[in-house]
Amino acid sequence: MRCPACGTVYPADAKFCTKDGGRLLPFTAGGEPPATGPRATTPRANTPDPSQRKVDSHANLAGEVLDGRYAIVKKVGEGGMSHVYLARDVSTDERYAIKILLPSLSRDENAMARLRREAALGIRLAHPNVCHIVRMGETEDGLVYVVMPFVEGEILSDRNNRLGTIPLPMAVQFVSEIAAGLHVAHELKIMHRDLKPENIMICRRADGSEYAVVMDFGLAKERKAGGELEKLTATGIILGTPEFMSPEQLRGKPLDARTDIYSLSLLTYEMLTGKLPFEGRTQQEMMIARLRNEPTPLRQRVPGMDFPAGVERVLLKAMARNVDDRYMTTIEFAAELVAAASSGGPAPGGGMLGKFFGR
């Protein structure tokens, strides 16, 4: 297979160029595409013949072998754009999470072009605090899928609901790890755009220590509310969970890394208080509050909890309505949060920060 844009040649089972995300075309040794007939492939050793197990539905793939390579074990989740499966590589026995995109998304040329660009970058997004894209593919049946490492642990939203609030030192640790992973993505010009507790997994190492992993990167989540508040009812359905979206995202404005910083500050606030800084009885009211109101101060939200004043100051700056008033990078935000939480402890760049950012 060869990329028609850059000319890079790939193995026969490749579908997209890892450099520019373009769809690959069949390529022969002579440099010309085959004249007639479908491309012949050689089945992997010990791989069930995929022709014997036709994929009937993207919503029910358990027991199938996807693309002759991934044996689908079971469905583990689903969302507005995909069904998520636990799969096993039939050659290596390694476990993966595979997202099968809904046909409506795979037929959207603009969404697919953006997804391929992000997948090409996402393959480079290897970081211990990020669940990155391993590869993107498409079956002969036309199912588009994204392969990622299978990550086990407790979803942050479940942890927060179970405990009510998360102690400040633990919250600062998780935020610092999330910030480190996001920074690597932002350096590659990838924004998450859907950062919320449901997309953070708390995992456990062999020694029992815990760490945070950012999930669900690079799945064409450039969603726009548009027209300010004109279509809030409709966007309440399209956006799913608007509580963690930045004002500029709700307005459909151009986004950069600072939109993820805004969402990360809301996520931090909720970890510490069990609540959000903006109130509303409906999703629409929550959006309006984000666009018009000031956040409830941290210490006012939970009377009796003695948070350092600096922590509240850091969070208010990170969730400023005006994007230019926020921190520029997640590392800067995390550094200020660590310093504020330690109340005069190690200066930014050492101590706890050194652990998370390699200093």
Residues carrying an active site annotation: 194
Task: Check: CB of residue 165 under 8 Å from CB of residue 327.
Answer: no
Torsion of CA 85, 73, 138, 220, to 10 degrees: 10
HSE-CB at 29 with a 13 A cutoff on CA atoms is 0
Q: Using an 8 Å Cβ cutoff, are 65 and 48 in contact?
A: yes
- Dihedral sign of CA atoms 71, 77, 78, 79 in order: negative
The secondary element (H helix, E strand) that includes residue 235 is helix 232-239
The angle at the Cα of 299, spanning 342 to 316, to the nearest 5 degrees, equals 75
Q: Among candidates 249, 238, 5, 221, which has minimal Cα distance to 115?
A: 221
Alpha-carbon span 4 to 8, nearest angstrom: 8
Q: Which residues pair with 87 in a beta bridge?
A: 72, 96
Which tokens sit at 63? 């027991």
> Distance between CA 332 and CA 339 in Å, rounded?
11
